[in-house]
Structure 1
Amino acid sequence: MKLKDILKILDEISPFELQEKWDNSGLQVGNLEKKIKDIYLCIDVDEGLVESLPEGSLIITHHPLIFGKLTSLEYSSYPAKLLVKMIKKDIAHIAMHTNFDKTHLNSYVAQKVLGVEPECEDFICYFDKECTFDDALKWVSKKFHLTCPRYVQASERVSRIALTTGSGGSLIDFVKADLFLTGDLKYHDAMKAQEIGLSVIDIGHFESECYFGEALQEQLKKRAIKAIIASIKKPLKVWNETIY
């Protein structure tokens, strides 16, 4: 199958036109007329992954490698260093970011990880769960394997929960729930949440979006397309021992 055919199928699964204006989902690197040997799925691209992939393969990631204004390709810098290695190995790259968030990833995580049937509106999925905040914190931490969760507690009880995988701090003003589950919670977003009475649990960016491969693989299987889930090293580590 040619790269252009795979790109068309991906667009049918999750239309690229749904991506946000600031996003760069779609083809990152590759010859559209090139026949693809193997397809790999991963949240991101790193050097270890590129070196492990066979020549002529395709890597489909959640996050675009080319993001923002790329004005030069200095070979020792990021992302140029990876792009050069990919081009030398004839590795193609497609990203499915905010379009896939809206159409599949948020609902997939709600269903497969949390075990709930959500109602989804654009980037936010909602579901009902009556419990104390402490019980919600324990439940969420177990589901996402969080050892040191960060959180804002605005109330003792929870009845309506919202979920946005990745970084959802900019959506705080639009959340209509008692508890918001999202990643990359910033200090000022936490302050805002506290003042408007919204509890938040930071479920991590990587931790909440590492299911991208599973979610896309499920869709590709329906179209008889084989894809292999690859992995990268988690870039951020957590030190959870007392050091003072």
Structure 2
Amino acid sequence: MKNSCTNSDIFKMMERWAPKSLAYDWDNVGLQVGSYNNKVKKIMVTLDVLESVVDEAIQKKVDLIIAHHPLLFKPMKEVNFDTPKGKVIRKLIENQITVYAAHTNLDIAAGGVNDMICRSLGINESNILIESSSLKLYKLAVYVPKTHVETVRNGLSESGAGHIGNYSHCTFQTEGQGTFKPLEGTEPFIGEKGKLEYVAEQRIETIVPENRLELVIKAMLAAHPYEEPAYDIYPLINSGEKFGLGRVGILQEKMKLEDFCEHVKNAFDMESVRVTGDLNKKVSRVAILGGSGEKYIHQAKHKGADVYITGDMSFHMAQDAWQMGLAVIDAGHYIEKVMKEATATYLKDTLEEESLDIIVSDTNTDPFQFI
């Protein structure tokens, strides 16, 4: 990392974890207000971007806010400084604070919000609740002189190529003979200008996920000794890693629904939750969807869940779940606050820039109080 990094550098780090391509098409992720090119020294992670959060950022001299919920979600026809959102935008611009949002892409990403919730509750062996996409795969084939096969192969593997299931460094080599004639203006690694050269080479083939393709090509070119390496990229029909909303997993031990509700409250520091179902029933298989997940009760039931944890459950949908024998815990939207510490930790672990300060917002943005 450079001594002074830009917002764009941080955006790229976030998108290596939660690519924008994972977001639903109705979502608005990425830059919300501000600049790609501004230098950044202090980052604050928050769930929401309300005026109180921006005031905290101003007071703490923050350059970049990373939020889960987008500030700009629905199209705006005007920026009226007399409205709550207009006031927020004005303060951000006047104080040169940039806002970036990772929403459904961070929900869906491996290690994202729903996985964070699973970890908080001690839920194991989790799988996707609603599959939304799968990673596109490519095959990369590059021709390398025998003297540099190991160097290039390691460069490919260490940059993210060659992963199949729980195996890494997966490649295939075939031997052959390459020919080329260096022309004027070249500085060949092997051979002489104007003379046809015959070289013992190996063709290295490996599989590359779409989100690593650019990095893998850069690593391959850096490791390859030739001025102009020959390589091919083929799109594949077979799909890679699957992505989707929500998770379904197993509790470490069965417990009564009533006790599990207490477990949820303790995990997320909550005063109460809303629940449907028999409180004495033992539960072990749990479905989770952070945010508003009422329309996915049928998927939770189909995946064999005993209980479904989500937020914003309406009366009739809760009633439907109750009648189909699926217990529901409406823990509210605010349990997604787990993303704050986890995102800050990810950035601290990823960044090499020691002088960059990363903090978590102290502002409570939950609109609900319980009396």
Structure 1 length-normalised TM: 0.90
Q: How does 1:1-244 map to 2 (within 5 A)?
A: 1-54=5-58, 57-103=63-109, 104-111=112-119, 113-121=120-128, 122-129=244-251, 130-153=254-277, 156-175=281-300, 176=303, 177-206=305-334, 208-224=335-351, 226-240=357-371
Answer yes or no: is the 8 Å Cα contact 2:271–2:370 preserved in 1: no
Root-mean-square deviation (Å): 1.8
Q: Post-superposition shift, 1:8?
A: 1.4
Q: Post-superposition shift, 1:107?
A: 0.6
Q: Look at both structures and tell me which one has the larger radius of gyration over its CA atoms.
A: 2
The structure in which a higher percent of residues are strand is 2
User: In the aligned structure 1, how far is the partner of 2:56 from the partner of 2:370?
Assistant: 29
User: In the aligned structure 2, how far is the partner of 1:154 from the partner of 1:20?
Assistant: 35
The runs of 4+ residues in structure 1 deviating greater than 3 Å are none
**Identity between Structure 1 and Structure 2 (%):** 31
User: In the aligned structure 1, how far is the partner of 2:330 from the partner of 2:318?
Assistant: 10
Which residue identity lines up with residue 142 of structure 1 in the other structure? N
User: In the aligned structure 1, how far is the partner of 2:298 from the partner of 2:339?
Assistant: 26
Which residue identity lines up with residue 120 of structure 1 in the other structure? N
Answer yes or no: is the 8 Å Cα contact 1:193–1:199 preserved in 2: yes
Give 3-state SS (helix, strand or coil) of 1:200's partner: strand
User: In the aligned structure 2, how far is the partner of 1:10 from the partner of 1:85?
Assistant: 24
User: In the aligned structure 2, how far is the partner of 1:197 from the partner of 1:188?
Assistant: 14
Give 3-state SS (helix, strand or coil) of 1:210's partner: helix
User: In the aligned structure 2, how far is the partner of 1:4 from the partner of 1:185?
Assistant: 37
Q: Post-superposition shift, 1:118?
A: 4.1
Q: Post-superposition shift, 1:195?
A: 2.1
User: In the aligned structure 2, how far is the partner of 1:45 from the partner of 1:231?
Assistant: 12
User: In the aligned structure 1, how far is the partner of 2:62 from the partner of 2:349?
Assistant: 24
Structure 2 length-normalised TM: 0.61
| Count of matched residue pairs | 238
Answer yes or no: is the 8 Å Cα contact 1:107–1:118 preserved in 2: no
81-90 vs 125-134, greater mean Cα deviation:
125-134
30-39 vs 140-149, greater mean Cα deviation:
140-149
Distance 1:66 1:160, change over 3 A: same
Give 3-state SS (helix, strand or coil) of 1:117's partner: strand
Which residue identity lines up with residue 287 of structure 2 in the other structure? A
Q: Post-superposition shift, 1:56?
A: 6.4
Which residue identity lines up with residue 341 of structure 2 in the other structure? E
